[in-house]
Structure 1
């Protein structure tokens, strides 16, 4: 499982122009079964993604395809988490 943070950078002003492409990137992540959750970092600091069902290498490629990342609107950090203890409602994350 991965936590991805997308923190706004100096290029934040370009976000409105790239929003349609960014939203299409998010939709593709859900459609592909990779994204579990997407939301905003508060207060207005950027975004975050919870991803699974992918390798780190593939996720790194996917993240670079986000128009926000490609155009310098955000900087991305990927954190891999190996669950040691998990609520049974989230048991599917063990894989």
Structure 2
């Protein structure tokens, strides 16, 4: 499993200009079966995506996120080898 942590490099007003294409990118990640959960950080300084799949493919996908392309945010990709999950979240371990 991976945690894709994005941090805004620009303000929320600038992020809002690219939010619609970014969200289309997020939805495509779900359609590919890579994304498991996502949301904004609180306070709103970026976001987090829980993902699965091949690291190289995920990193290539992150590179085409409109937030990355337009310099709105940077990503930190962290791989986690989960050993224990609560009932109902077994898919996180795959």
TM-score, normalised to structure 1, is: 0.89
Q: Secondary structure at the match of 1:93?
A: helix
Q: Name 1:85's counterpart in structure 2.
A: 84
1:39-66 CA distance string (max 9 Å, x none): 00110111110001x1100000111111
**Matched ranges for 1:1-95 at <5 A:** 1-10=1-10, 13-52=13-52, 54-95=53-94
Runs of 4+ aligned residues of structure 1 deviating over 3 Å after TM superposition are: 10-13
Cα drift, residue 71 of structure 1: 1.0
The answer for unaligned runs of 5 or more in structure 1 is: none
CA RMSD between the two structures: 1.5
Q: How many aligned residue pairs are there?
A: 94
Alignment partner of 1:72: what SS? coil
Structure in which a larger fraction of residues adopt helix: 1
Does structure 2 retain, via aligned residues, the 8 Å contact 1:2–1:51?
yes
CA distance in 2, matches of 1:44, 1:36: 20
5+ residue gaps, structure 2: none
CA distance in 1, matches of 2:43, 2:12: 14
Partners of 1:18 and 1:10 in 2: CA distance: 11
Q: Normalising to structure 2: TM-score of the pair?
A: 0.90
